[in-house]
Amino acid sequence: MIINAARGGIVNEDDLLKTTTPIIYCTDVYQNEPHINPAIVDFSFICTPHIAGHSQEAKITAVTWISDKLHLHCGLPQASPIQFSPTQHTHFTQYETWEKNILKLYSPLNETLSLKEATNKELAFLTQRKAHQNRHDFSAHAGVELNQQIRQIMGI
């Protein structure tokens, strides 16, 4: 099994497609995004639209980092932190497995099927990615009641 959630060029997709070894390939990143190779989508068990940096928390982190660097470079006092509070919470239950609770936040199945069925993979990739503009990181759900095992897995 290979899970590629890092950078598109880390896995050589051409070589992967030539392998004769049975392999389960899951990916969120592709070479030459958004011009993704339809063959790698077909080959993948799970394929999603590279959404790691598309959560509201990731965007705030990026803006804060740039702001801090600019303030430092210009000799200005550091700006006040951005105050952010998610407006939605997902209801978790201690009676379900952590896997089922996590899948309530995000299940890659629908996007995988949609990407695999799309005639225009590039358009499907871009459309799916754009749909994640208001998504939250797992850490945004820290205020809800979660058992300790789920908190550890989610990093909160």
Q: For residue 87, give both structure tokens.
A: 């407006």
Q: Residue 154: how many CB atoms within 10 A of its CB?
A: 19
What is d(CA 82, CA 61) in angstroms, rounded to the nearest whole number?
Answer: 9
Which residues are marked as active site? 7, 33, 50
